[in-house]
Amino acid sequence: MTQATAMFVMFILYGVLPAAGIYLGYRGVKKLTQPKMLEYKAMPQLGSIPEKSMPQEVAQKLALINEKGEKLKRLYGDTNNDGVIDDKDAVNETYVMIKNVMDIHIPEAVADYRRLHDLDSNVNKTVVISAEKSGDALSRADTTKIKNSNMTGRQALLEVLNTVDTQFDGLLDAAYHQDGQKLLATNRYLQQRFEK
């Protein structure tokens, strides 16, 4: 083995491999310790939210709304049934309303709640510390009533999400019945045609 080959092998064994091991170890530890993020495909403006910063019931409601919103966008936005919502589709008022709720109103409501949640500096520290000991981290947004109302920030956010969820259920039901009526009308038309 020549001296150049030996130096190259030493460089690989004592330089590159340890550096690669340190880098991969760093990436692995970083990946294991980073918080789990919640992402919503139909609401990209919502961004990625750390799972720890959202109460479980809010995260579940957001997941339901995300799923229903995605279905509604396809139902009301893809009018030519080509699988893509683009300029060729005839956009109606219902689609615009769904898009605005998903792109503007829900992300703003969640951002407002998160700001309330972040106001938790030292004001309510004793409640937060005692709640963390019991395993259920509560914040000011979860315990303090909003002025001139009988709701906490968490209850207000859940009220907004429940309203959206109920309205989306109504829109899904309406789409189902509308398409069902089309099927019934097609069936009646075909029966009349074949009877003649």
pLDDT tens readout for residues 4-34: 898 888 888 888 888 989 999 888 888 887 7
- Is the residue at 36 inside a domain? yes
187-195, long-range: CB within 8 Å, 24+ apart, which pairs?
Answer: none
Q: Is the pLDDT of residue 83 over 90?
A: no
- Is the residue at 93 inside a domain? yes
pLDDT for 153 equals 84
- Is the residue at 79 inside a domain? yes
Q: Cβ neighbours of residue 58 under 8 Å, at least 6 residues apart? A: 113, 154, 157, 158, 161
75-98 mean pLDDT:
75
Expressed as residue numbers, the domain containing 152 is 20-122+141-181
User: Residue 46 and residue 110: Cα distance in Å, rounded?
Assistant: 8
- Is the residue at 106 inside a domain? yes
Residue among 8, 72, 84, 6 at smallest CA distance from 42: 72
Quote the crossing angle between the two packed helices 106-118 and 56-77, to the nearest 10°.
Answer: 160
Q: Is 81 left (phi over 0), alpha (psi -120 to 50) or beta?
A: left
65-87 mean pLDDT:
78
pLDDT band at 122 (very low <50, low <70, confident <90, very high): very low
- Is the residue at 193 inside a domain? no
144-151 mean pLDDT:
84
pLDDT band at 84 (very low <50, low <70, confident <90, very high): low
pLDDT for 132 equals 43
Phi and psi at residue 92, to the nearest 5°:
-110, 175
Q: Average pLDDT, whole number, for the chain?
A: 80
pLDDT for 165 equals 93
- Which two structure tokens, joined as six digits, stand for 11? 């460089």
pLDDT band at 135 (very low <50, low <70, confident <90, very high): very low
